[in-house]
Structure 1
Amino acid sequence: MQFTFAATKRVEQGTGASRRLRRAGVIPGIIYGANKDAINVNFDHNELFHLLRNEKFHSSVVTADVEGSKESVILRATQWHPFRPVVLHLDFQRVDASQKLHTKVPLHFLNAEVSPGVKLEGGIVSHVLTDLDVTCLPADLPEFIEVDLKDLSGGHSLHVSQLKLPKGVEVVHHGEGDPVVATILQVRGSGTDDAAGEAAAPAA
């Protein structure tokens, strides 16, 4: 899916100017990176608010049309109002097609309901991670990474090293070890525990 949105260059600076823009339905922001000067810009609040509700927008290379000049960018930071559904500021980083980028990609969990730990043992899936730090060329950036839980049993975990990554995508490791992505928690009194309890019970 391709995302394109409009932006205009911003001349006014300062807290007071930003406050006036927000009252007029405009989001102040910035576009930077790729060895070019950063530019202060404005976005239409309604347009960007709806785009931000789409998960794919957060992990895709998107196009900012700045007064007719198109920039390939990726969303880096979003500042929200503390309690109102209002976007206060947006940061976008330019993307160079020849340079790898480092970003977070959401995880999509599949087949939890048919995994042995859930279907046969009555366990509950715990999502330890919901996204993954990756590095790749912009053309290889996936919208999400699938996590298949179909073979996971109760009391067992699935680790980052077990994920099937799209071509050209590498995990960015933080520290040592192999982080847990998901695990199935066994619920007391369910599944195999019930069977064991019945076997141990004395005959009537």
Structure 2
Amino acid sequence: MQQSTVKAKPRPVGGTPAVKKLRREGGVPGVVYGRSFGDPLAVVVDAKDLRAALVSHGGSAVLNLEIEGRGSTPAIIQDRQLDVITKRLIHIDLHAISLDEVVEAHVPLVIVGTAPGVKEGGILDFVVREVTVECLPTDIPDQLQIDVSSLNMFDSIHARDIAAPEGVKIAEDPDEIIVSVLAPSKAEEEAPAAGLGEAPAEPELIGEKKPAAEEAPSE
């Protein structure tokens, strides 16, 4: 995996006004930690560098983190928090790693193909949208594809069915359902006939990361 360079500076630990000021100035407050890194370090990361890395490689990116006064270290994004309204990145946890040690990373799943069961009127239920993998940092995939072209009505794809590249292990319960084709419920079939104009509330998808509030996380 190609690494994206992201610049960061050590920052003093402050309260909400201090971190809001950093964001206004184009930074993302965060913390860097790791077994070989030493004590956790509060940093401010260049927001433009970070956005470019996320656009290019997604949340599974291996970053070349350049910390002012500390040099460079490879790092992965361990956790991130978004503003509930703007969806802007407001805090990030970075895990400093060694490129020759196996790490855990979260990799998004992407559906490819069309399920025959959907053509028959079924509903594709995409339950889990990212999985945890174990591999060397340089082997972390940007995404994993889930081919649903063989799914008939009531069929499912489980974690054990995910095709991972060589050297990548899926660190999930093998029996966990990733995606399935469900028959339309009786309620869904009767709703148009009843003439109800109000759409049902959209259910929360299991596995989606919930954004955090604007308030800065505990420092």
Q: TM-score range by the shorter chain?
A: 0.7 to 0.9
1:184 partnered with 2:181 = yes
Q: Which runs of 5+ in 1 are unaligned?
A: 190-204
Tell me the number of residue pairs that the alignment of Structure 1 and Structure 2 aligns.
182
Deviations 1:5-41 (A, max 9, x none): 211222x222143233233332221111032222222
Q: Comparing 34-43 with 143-152, which one deviates more in the overlay? A: 34-43
User: Relative to structure 1, is the Cα distance of residues 44 and 178 closer, same or farther in structure 2, using a 3 angstrom cutoff?
Assistant: same
Q: Structure 1 61/45 Cα, relative in aligned 2: closer, same or farther at 3 Å?
A: closer
Tell me the alpha carbon deviations over residues 116-151 of structure 1, each in whole angstroms, 9 at most, x when there is no partner.
2123x1222110111111111112211111111111
User: What SS class does the counterpart of residue 20 from structure 1 fall into?
Assistant: helix
Bigger RCO of structures 1 and 2 (CA < 8 A, at least 6 apart): 2
TM-score by length of 2: 0.73
Matches within 5 A, 1:115-134: 115-119=115-119, 121-134=120-133
1:66 maps to a residue whose letter is: I
Aligned residues with identical type, % of pairs: 29
Please identify runs of 4+ aligned residues in structure 1 that moved more than 4 A: 49-52
Say which of 35, 39, 42 aligns to 1:40: 42
Is residue 28 of structure 2 the alignment partner of residue 21 of structure 1? no
Deviates more, 1:26-35 or 1:143-152: 26-35
Q: Where in structure 2 are there 5+ consecutive unaligned residues?
A: 187-219
The residue type paired with residue 32 of structure 1 is Y
The whole-number CA distance in structure 2 between the counterparts of 1:158 and 1:57 is: 24
Aligned to 1:3: 4
User: What letter is aligned with 1:147?
Assistant: I
Are the equivalent residues in 2 in contact too, given 1:49–1:87 (CA < 8 A)? no
Identify the residue that residue 204 of structure 2 maps to in structure 1. none
Larger radius of gyration: 1
Answer yes or no: is the 8 Å Cα contact 1:34–1:96 preserved in 2: no
Cα distance change of structure 1 residues 29 and 81 upon mapping to structure 2, 3 Å threshold: same
Q: Identify if the C-alpha distance between structure 1 residues 78 and 55 changes in structure 2 by more than 3 Å, giving closer, same or farther.
A: farther
Q: 1:148 to 1:40 in 2, by over 3 A?
A: same
**Over the residues paired in the alignment, what is the CA RMSD in angstroms?**
2.3
> Alpha-carbon deviations, 1:55-92, whole Å to 9, x = none?
83301211112237222111112222332344322110
